[in-house]
Structure 1
Amino acid sequence: MSSKGNILIVEDEFIVANDLRLMLQKAGYQICGIASSVIQARALIEKHNPDWILLDIILKGDYSGIDLAKELMVKKIPFLYISANTNHRTLEAAKQTQPYGFLVKPFREKDLFVMLDIARYKHQTENVRLQREAAVKADANCLDSIIGTSPRTKDLIEQIKIVAPSDTSVLINGESGTGKELVAQCIHKLSTRSNRPMVVVNCAALPLSLIETELFGHEKGAFTGATQKRTGRFEQADKGTIFLDEIGEMPPDAQVKLLRVLQEKEIERVGGENPVKVDVRVIAATNRQLEKEVAEGRFRLDLYYRLSIFPMELPPLRARKEDIHALAYHFLRKYAEKNGVSITGFSENAMQELMAYDWPGNIRELEHIVERHVLLSTGSSIERIDIPTSMLRDNSPASSGKLKTMEEVEREHIINALKAGNGKVSGTGGAAELLGMPAQTLYSRMKKLGIKQTFKG
């Protein structure tokens, strides 16, 4: 409960209800209303969504407090009985509705607060138990989507299990196509926020002029064309999780505002005068080395520290080749079923080709190649793998005599993809499709690496 809680009093005796209100307000509770009947109580519950309800059994009208309690059980709103009725049959009926406490009138002020404290503790304990049970159920589903049994994959799954139940900020680092969003989804689904949304933001795809209004929203009339109030991504993610993909592409001005959100737990809408409190867990991801970005002045050090409380490094597919077999068959079954074809496996030669390739586009590239071969295959198995020749160039250190930097490798790989796509970036057969990334992200990477769109195959 926020502060001590928002309480609805359902009591048909005005003096008793008013005394309750004064006692509770003095102790720091908020009172959202007093109802003397079930009909009034339903309206106030709908309007105020109280944290707790203090409920008399005998009320005005045709319905009793026990009738309302049955509805509260369904809505999962915790309640306590306060009644002078100690009839055995009535007490047994009340017990069946699973209240968090029962206080007999008349009562002392001290007894009321002791009962409330006990009830709050029982409710919190029960919530923790339910969240753990939900996490166990989600565990079997979402972690099954992380395919592989290699040591690196097992270690990744253990890290997810460790960090998911907390509210700690997570920074996921990995090359394009390694499954950063999938890992973020698993962390969210195994967290206590899983019943709230995970809002995904691709920082590289946001136009520079719209970043602030997209993330934080704007008020009506904040600028030309703002004909109505807009809720930003952080407000949409309130009580849930926000996933900031490609965080390394965020411009400096937006980094400053993001840092303030992380520090103050509040946002300011564009054109707004008052800050808005938000309760959001932040998971960020990047394919860049943010330490290098910090050293070169492109990323704020204080923001980096805020985001990287729990850093996770996703291995490239070439570092977990023992998982290729399981991944390839997973995608084979997925696309065979999707396209209604009877393909059951790979020939030994085809699997050897998959194992021999270094997969610069990682799991996403493997998925696209398997999907393409499922569509092209005319038999019951995939006999050979056709990988674009531009992707097969030897980039090993032995061929050049020295180890290339990540930036050099990335630049060369993008140029190769542009040549393979005949200079085309977006659309079918374009470099973005070949690399398995959004076109806007590729444009951003090309700009940072100084690559012009003039390469032809």
Structure 2
Amino acid sequence: MKKKEKILIVEDEFIVANDLRLILQKAGYETSGIASSVEQAQKLIDQKKPDWVLLDIILKGQLTGIDLARDLKQKNIPFLYISANTNQSILEKVKETKPYGFLVKPFRERDLLVMLEIARYRYTIEIEPTASSLSENLSIEGIIGTSPSFMNSLEKVRIVAPTDTSVLILGESGTGKERIAQVVHQRSARSSKPMITINCGALPISLIESELFGHEKGSFTGAVNRRIGKFELANQSTIFLDEVGELPPEVQVKLLRVLQEKEIERIGGDATIKVDVRIIAATNRNLEKEVAEGRFRLDLYYRLNVFPITLPPLRERREDIPLLAEYFLEKFSAKTGKRIDTISPQAVNQLNNYSWPGNIRELEHLMERSVLLATGSQIEEIPLPAVSFLPSQEQPTHIKTMDEMERDHILNALKICGGKVFGLGGAAEILNLPPATLYSKMKKLGIKQGYK
């Protein structure tokens, strides 16, 4: 008979703690007790040796659940948070402790059990990686970097790629989320078929459902032919849902059903179609915050967040900047036919001291521009925008967020282009972005089309 997993409940509200105990026992778990403070929890951990800990944040005494989480990390005991506290600064501290789940109070019994099921699966994958996945050297075109934070992300790619597990790739715009999704697909058993990609933030709401699930002829005005949706096209392959945090609530419900039932219905159709699809999703949004504020479904978040991979922003992996710059120098020198071999120390210094709001994508575009502008065999200067420099002798009274800086940058481009978004001389061209991506960024940042 399989041994029951022991779960310690750390919760200072007795009614909530008792409800948790009853739910867990009914589901076949064994509870190791209830603690209302960190000190009491530490004693029970030493005595009962729990397999998992359910952890509230605000507890009795001076120490918080986040303090206990750090202790649990040292002892290699997996844990999940259950809290009503969704303050942004608290969520950032929670994320630093790398929990296996975060459940917002009040919660349903089903939410708790699904979160536990997924957390246990994630933990199993992490502690029992396949030997082949760890022994391989991840050497793939365009994957450059040796910084510890980036190598940690690549290690997760090695672990999860050979499985069929859903993957959620997190990171700021321009950190390479789609490239990592491609690597996960290329290293899976589904690699013989193409990965199907859809940008959930670049489509009008009226078209998203049709794009994902397809429609039958005559199902709505303008549906003159049957359309096969992206999920059907991705059968026995992988679908990459970029900017999944942009999905409207009604589509989130239907996506959840696909994940649970592994079947779709075309709009206007009366038959269900079975699909065998691996999901890789990506977002630059804080989905825990989106869940807490009611914009993203908690149950869908659990289904997508089976195995998260966070890509660090370029400013947090500065040792990789020269490597990436050299890679792009070689790429664009070959593309243009120019013989440019080196980057001057002054230009390297520019690269190292820039804040990189656009991350790797911005570095790539700037290196391409530098190669085009170069007149000799060396890059002498990088044409950096002045907006992101902070003079060393001046301390700013307000440091802009990355979203604020990106918004200012796009508004400046639109102003230069007289409000023109795409086409010759449009903002998309001078920013070196696909028009759909620029529209998506404008929507996210609250920039109205037609700005002048």
> Normalising to structure 1: TM-score of the pair?
0.64
Aligned equivalents of 2:373, 2:223: Cα separation in 1: 49
Find out whether 1:335 has 2:329 as its counterpart: no
Matches within 5 A, 1:237-386: 237-386=234-383
Find out whether 1:179 has 2:139 as its counterpart: no
The letter for the 1-side match of 2:311 is: L
The letter for the 2-side match of 1:145 is: G
Structure 2 SS opposite 1:242: strand
Identify which of 214, 219, 226 aligns with 2:216: 219
Aligned equivalents of 1:214, 1:453: Cα separation in 2: 23
The letter for the 2-side match of 1:165 is: P
1:415 matched residue in structure 2: 411
Structure 2 SS opposite 1:282: strand
Identify which of 147, 150, 154 aligns with 1:150: 147
Once the two structures are TM-superposed, the CA of residue 427 in structure 1 deviates from its matched residue by: 4.0
Identify which of 419, 433, 438 aligns with 2:434: 438
Once the two structures are TM-superposed, the CA of residue 303 in structure 1 deviates from its matched residue by: 1.0
Identify which of 417, 421, 426 aligns with 2:422: 426
Please list every run of 5 or more consecutive structure 2 residues that lacks an aligned counterpart in the other structure: 1-129
* Equivalent residues of 2:175, 2:312 under 8 A apart: yes
1:162 matched residue in structure 2: 159
1:392 matched residue in structure 2: 388
Once the two structures are TM-superposed, the CA of residue 174 in structure 1 deviates from its matched residue by: 1.0
From the superposition, tell whether residues 250 and 180 of structure 1 become closer, same or farther in structure 2 (CA, over 3 Å): same
Aligned equivalents of 2:416, 2:243: Cα separation in 1: 25
From the superposition, tell whether residues 310 and 436 of structure 1 become closer, same or farther in structure 2 (CA, over 3 Å): farther
The letter for the 1-side match of 2:283 is: T
Aligned equivalents of 1:291, 1:395: Cα separation in 2: 35
Matches within 5 A, 1:41-60: none
Q: Deviations over 1:388-446 (max 9, x none)?
A: 33x335499x8444565555455444434444655443345644455554333433443
From the superposition, tell whether residues 383 and 428 of structure 1 become closer, same or farther in structure 2 (CA, over 3 Å): farther
Q: Deviations over 1:25-74 (max 9, x none)?
A: xxxxxxxxxxxxxxxxxxxxxxxxxxxxxxxxxxxxxxxxxxxxxxxxxx
From the superposition, tell whether residues 392 and 409 of structure 1 become closer, same or farther in structure 2 (CA, over 3 Å): closer
The letter for the 1-side match of 2:436 is: Q
Aligned equivalents of 2:439, 2:424: Cα separation in 1: 16
From the superposition, tell whether residues 224 and 416 of structure 1 become closer, same or farther in structure 2 (CA, over 3 Å): closer
* Equivalent residues of 1:176, 1:361 under 8 A apart: yes
The letter for the 2-side match of 1:238 is: N
Once the two structures are TM-superposed, the CA of residue 345 in structure 1 deviates from its matched residue by: 1.1
Q: Deviations over 1:230-284 (max 9, x none)?
A: 2110011011100000111111111111111111100001111111000000000
* Equivalent residues of 1:361, 1:435 under 8 A apart: no
1:45 matched residue in structure 2: none
Find out whether 1:447 has 2:443 as its counterpart: yes
Aligned equivalents of 2:331, 2:447: Cα separation in 1: 36
The letter for the 2-side match of 1:374 is: V
Aligned equivalents of 2:131, 2:193: Cα separation in 1: 16
* Residues matched between the structures, number: 322
Find out whether 1:228 has 2:225 as its counterpart: yes
Structure 2 SS opposite 1:205: coil
Aligned equivalents of 1:349, 1:443: Cα separation in 2: 35
Structure 1 SS opposite 2:140: helix
Q: Deviations over 1:268-310 (max 9, x none)?
A: 0111111100000000011111122222222111111111111
The alignment-based identity, stated in percent, is 61
The letter for the 2-side match of 1:219 is: E
RMSD: 2.8
The letter for the 1-side match of 2:338 is: V
From the superposition, tell whether residues 155 and 448 of structure 1 become closer, same or farther in structure 2 (CA, over 3 Å): closer
The letter for the 2-side match of 1:192 is: A
Once the two structures are TM-superposed, the CA of residue 170 in structure 1 deviates from its matched residue by: 0.9
* Equivalent residues of 1:364, 1:436 under 8 A apart: no
Q: Deviations over 1:372-403 (max 9, x none)?
A: 111111111111112133x335499x844456
Aligned equivalents of 1:450, 1:348: Cα separation in 2: 39
The letter for the 2-side match of 1:439 is: P
Matches within 5 A, 1:47-126: none
Structure 2 SS opposite 1:143: coil
Structure 2 SS opposite 1:352: helix
Aligned equivalents of 1:362, 1:429: Cα separation in 2: 24
